[in-house]
Amino acid sequence: MSRNGTELKQGIRRHRLVKEDLIYGPLLSRRLGRSLGVNLLGTGTKLCSFNCGYCQCGWTEHPVLKAAEPIADFPPGEKVADALETRLQQLCHEGIPIDVITFSGNGEPTLHPELQAIVKAASALRDRYAPRAKLAILSNSSTVYQPQVRAALEGVDLKLMKLDAGNEALMRRINLPAKGWNFAEMLQGLAQLDGVLLQTMFVWGRVANTAPVAIRDWTDRVAEIRPNGVQIYTLDRVPADPGLMPVSRGVLAAIAAYARRRIYVPIEVY
């Protein structure tokens, strides 16, 4: 599959669904309920350690694995906390409830160098303005091998971590990770984290992760990680790669049924 500069730029133009705000929503999420989003990746631009063909934000121009790399342009933690407090005050004033405060946005939130301090500040703000809400994060798992990332994640109630394939070769084809990404270290980091909820996107087309051997490998890795649960789903938005297609509900149901027979982990189909 070609990933030349022209294709990258076309993809970004076609699918530039990046967030323009630090705080967005609340949006009604199928998996989380009323979710107030916190975009830790800056506004109007995407920053990620992966380059998934199914990404709704378009292609990642320069995937990076470490927050310190100079390409990064993160909003300062203090600014994130101020913006979150302002929005929570507004929601309180308007009587709008939320179920979760979700770290997500234009890419991979764990790349933010101040993640731990931001999680701590958000936790205090949640306690003050929305004590029933949980803190959630949508992460692609690429950085979970780093102890400081795991320490930050320990402060998050719902750790929704990506695992799209059970072997390195297929993950590389689906997620196109940044240089330096290590499959074994990622799996080890996931296994060391408490209370993980794995998320897996199944796709067909230019690359597919639904072959029997792929499902067997994926199930084996899930068993090793021992998450609290697994959420499986397929494309429901326009992907960066037009060669990808959603799988059918029947295929998702069959994958879930197979996994439930083999491992004792709750599997939910979305």
Query: Which residues of the chain form contacts with ligand SF4 (CB under 6 A)?
Result: 48, 50-52, 55, 57, 60, 107-108, 140
Residue 163's region, left for phi above 0, alpha for psi from -120 to 50, else beta, is beta
Question: Which C-beta is closer to ligand SF4: that of 12 or that of 119?
Answer: 12
Question: Which C-beta is closer to ligand SF4: that of 52 or that of 230?
Answer: 52
Helices (H), the chain: 5-14, 77-94, 115-129, 147-153, 168-175, 183-192, 212-225, 249-262
CB of 235 to ligand SF4, least distance (A): 11
For residue 149, the number of C-alpha atoms closer than 13 Å in the C-beta half-sphere is 24
Structure tokens at 132: 């029933």
Q: Considering only CA atoms, which of 243, 105, 250 is closest in space to residue 173?
A: 243
Question: Which C-beta is closer to ligand SF4: that of 52 or that of 121?
Answer: 52
CB of 22 to ligand SF4, least distance (A): 17
CB of 96 to ligand SF4, least distance (A): 27
Give the H or E element holding residue 203: strand 196-205
Decide if 207 contacts 53 (C-beta within 8 A): yes
The contacts of residue 152 (CB under 8 Å, 6+ apart) are 110, 115, 116, 119
Query: Sign of the CA dihedral 191, 192, 197, 202?
Result: negative
Question: Which C-beta is closer to ligand SF4: that of 142 or that of 219?
Answer: 142
Question: Which C-beta is closer to ligand SF4: that of 52 or that of 144?
Answer: 52
CB of 19 to ligand SF4, least distance (A): 11
CB of 41 to ligand SF4, least distance (A): 9
Question: Which C-beta is closer to ligand SF4: that of 37 or that of 107?
Answer: 107
Q: Considering only CA atoms, which of 51, 55, 59, 62 is closest in space to residue 11?
A: 59
d(CA 80, CA 151): 19
CB of 173 to ligand SF4, least distance (A): 13
